[in-house]
Amino acid sequence: MFYLTSVYGKSQLDCSHAHNSVFQCYAYLANLSRNLKLKTMKKLLLVCIGICSFKSIAQVSQLPSMMIAGIEVRNIPSNEDILRSVIYKSLVNSKKYVVNDRYDVAEKLGDTKMKECLGKDCMGKVGKQLSADFAISASYEGLGDRILISMKIVNVQTGEIDQNEIQQFENQPRELNRMTDIMIYKLLKTDVDLSVYKALFFKDGPTASSGLGKMNNSGPRIGFAVPTGENAEFFTRNEREGGLGTLPVLFNIGYQLEVQYAGSEKFSGLFEFLGNVAGMEHGSPIPSLAIMHGVRFGKGAWEIAMGPSFSMKRLASGTTDYDGNFRTYQELYALNAVNAAQMSYFKRPDTRGATYFSTNFIFAVGKTFRPGALNVPLNFYASMNKYGTTYGVSLGINITRSRKYTYTK
C-alpha cells in the first residue's frame, strides 16, 4: 500500500486504488503545498500519477476478452452490422469483458467467416485465432407478432457453451437496442429493469394470436322448427282461408359455412352463413339465408350466435271489421260491403297473398360433440319477427380436418 501523509500526521490518502483518480491525488497534494517545497511536490505528484495509472491498467488487463462471432437476422427490419454494434455497446457497458473491435476481427477472419460463425465449434476455433477467452453469437428472428432472440457465450478454452439465453419479445423493431441490453444482462446474470422487461416481453395470452388451433364446423345441417303466434295460426288455418291446414312443424335442410377470425383451443370468434330450405313437406318451400356472429368457448365447445336472416313470405292484406272474419278488399267488394275503403286493413301470412321480402332475428346456443374424428354441432335457436317466434333444433356433422396453426402481424 502506498500512502501520502501530511507532515503533521493528521490525514492520509491511499493512492493505491484505481478509484482514487489522479485528480483526487492532485487535489490532496495541493493542500500539502504550503508545507512542502516545490521540488518535493513535483516528485510526489509524479509518483501518484504513476501508481494510479498502473493500477487502472492492471485492472483492465485482468478482464477476460470477448469476441463477437456470427449475428443472424431474419424477418425483421434491421441488419447484422447494426445489431453487432448494439451488442458491442452492451458488452462494453457491462464492464465485464474487454471486447474485440469488429474491424480487428474482420481484418483477421474476413467479413464472410465472421458473419457465418454461429456454431460453438466455429466460435471456439475463431476465438483461439484471436486469443479471446470467450465468444458470443446471436440470432434475431421475427415470428409474426413477436421477435425471438437467442444468444450464447462459448468458452474458447473448453469449446463448451458457458451461457445460453432465449427470449420472446413483442414485435417492436425500434426497441431492439433495449431488447439486446436485456439479453446481455440476463446472460451475465445482471439485474434487469423490470419495467422495461415487462413492457417488451411477449405476453402469450389465450387470444394473442389469431388462428391458433381453430375448430371449423362448416357442413350440412338438418333439423326441425315449431312456429308460434300468427305463424302457427297460418299452418293450422284451412286452405280455403289461405292457410296450409297442417301441423305447425317445419323440417329444415341446409348448409352452414363458418369463417373464424380469431381463436385458440379454448376460444373462437366466428361468422356463420347458413343457407336453409324449410317446409318442403308442406308443398310450400321457404328459402332463407342467415348471417350470424358468434363465439365458441371452453373445452366443451359451447357456442352462442346471433344475427339476421332473410327469406320470402306470402302476405295478404285484409280486415276483420266486416264480420269478424278475415276478408280481403276484393272479397268485400264482391260482397258489396259499405264503407269497405274506410275499414282498417292489415297483413297476415296467407297463401293467397303476394310474395314479400321478410327479415328475422335469430338467437342460437349450442354445443359441439366430438366422437372420434367427427364434429357434431347441436344448436337450439329462436327466429323472431312481427308474426311470432319460431323455435328450432339444428344438427350438423362434419369430419375434423387438420387444424391450422397460423399467425397474423
Q: Please, are residues 24 and 38 in contact by the beta-carbon 8 Å criterion?
A: no
Residue 293 scores a pLDDT above 90: yes
The total of other beta-carbon atoms located within 10 Å of residue 146's CB is 21
CATH number at residue 82: 3.40.50.10070
Comparing 258 with 3, which gets the higher pLDDT? 258
Which range, 13-27, 81-95, 257-271, is most confident?
A: 81-95
Same domain, 159 and 271: no
Query: Which of 70-74, 262-266, 332-336 has the least mean pLDDT?
Result: 262-266
Q: Is residue 207 part of a domain?
A: no
pLDDT digits (tens, 9 = 90+) for 371-381: 866 889 999 99
What is the structure's pLDDT at 45?
61
| Residue spans of beta strands (DSSP E) within 2-133 | 3-5, 12-14, 65-74, 98-99
DSSP symbols for 221-252: EEEEEEE-THHHHHHHS-GGGTS--S-S-EEE
Query: Which of 21-35, 157-171, 278-292 has the least mean pLDDT?
Result: 21-35
98-99 and 65-74 beta bridge pairing: parallel
Q: Is residue 349 part of a domain?
A: yes
Residue 153 scores a pLDDT above 90: yes
What is the structure's pLDDT at 88?
93
Average pLDDT, the chain: 82
The pLDDT-based confidence of 35 (bands split at 50, 70, 90) is low
What is the structure's pLDDT at 217?
82
DSSP symbols for 106-171: HHHH-HHHHHH--SHHHHHHHHHHTT-SEEEEEEEEEETTEEEEEEEEEETTT-SEEEEEEEEEES
What is the structure's pLDDT at 205?
57
The total of other beta-carbon atoms located within 10 Å of residue 379's CB is 24
Same domain, 51 and 85: no
Q: Treating both helix axes as pointing N-terminal to C-terminal, what angle do 80-94 and 176-187 enclose, rounded to 10 degrees?
A: 50
Q: What is the CA radius of gyration of the chain?
A: 42
Grid cell locating 193:
429493469
What is the structure's pLDDT at 298?
78
| N-to-C CA span, the chain | 63
Q: Is residue 26 part of a domain?
A: yes
Q: What's the rounded mean pLDDT across residues 255-280? A: 87
Q: Please, are residues 171 and 102 in contact by the beta-carbon 8 Å criterion?
A: no
Same domain, 56 and 80: no
Domain count along the chain: 3
Residue 247 scores a pLDDT above 50: yes
Same domain, 115 and 237: no
Percent of the chain with pLDDT over 70: 78
Task: Measure the CA–CA gap between 176 and 134, rounded to whole angstroms.
Answer: 23
Grid cell locating 373:
374424428
CATH number at residue 367: 2.40.160
Q: Which helix (H) or strand (E) covers residue 53, if one does?
A: helix 38-61
Percent of the chain with pLDDT over 90: 46
DSSP 400: P
Residue 236 scores a pLDDT above 80: yes
Residue 309 scores a pLDDT above 60: yes
Q: What's the rounded mean pLDDT across residues 306-314? A: 94
Comparing 191 with 263, which gets the higher pLDDT? 191
Same domain, 303 and 320: yes
Same domain, 171 and 111: yes
Nearest residue to 339 via CA among 316, 322, 326, 324: 322
Same domain, 23 and 76: no
> Which domain-ending residue is among 61, 81, 100?
61
Q: Please, are residues 266 and 296 in contact by the beta-carbon 8 Å criterion?
A: no
Comparing 134 with 62, which gets the higher pLDDT? 134
Q: What's the rounded mean pLDDT across residues 304-308? A: 96
Q: Is residue 212 part of a domain?
A: no
> Which domain-ending residue is among 34, 61, 88?
61
Nearest residue to 165 via CA among 192, 143, 144: 192
Residue 322 scores a pLDDT above 70: yes
Same domain, 259 and 182: no
What is the structure's pLDDT at 166?
94
Task: Measure the CA–CA gap between 228 and 249, rounded to whole angstroms.
Answer: 10
Residue 8 scores a pLDDT above 50: no
Task: Measure the CA–CA gap between 173 and 195, rounded to whole angstroms.
Answer: 18
Same domain, 387 and 242: yes
User: What pTM value is reported for the model?
Assistant: 0.48
Comparing 48 with 251, which gets the higher pLDDT? 251
Same domain, 139 and 187: yes
What is the structure's pLDDT at 27?
60
> Which domain-ending residue is among 31, 61, 91?
61
Q: What's the rounded mean pLDDT across residues 365-392? A: 91
Give 85-93 contacts, CB < 8 A, sequence gap 24+. 86/176, 86/177, 86/180, 87/136, 87/138, 87/180, 87/184, 90/180, 90/181, 90/184, 91/66, 91/136, 91/184
Burial 174-210 (b: 16+ CB within 10 A, else e): ebbebbbbbbbbbbeeeeeeeeebeebbbeeeeeebb
What is the structure's pLDDT at 265?
63
DSSP 188: T
The boundaries of the domain holding residue 138 are: 65-200
Handedness of CA 34, 37, 39, 44 (dihedral sign): negative
Same domain, 177 and 139: yes
Q: Is residue 165 part of a domain?
A: yes
Same domain, 264 and 132: no
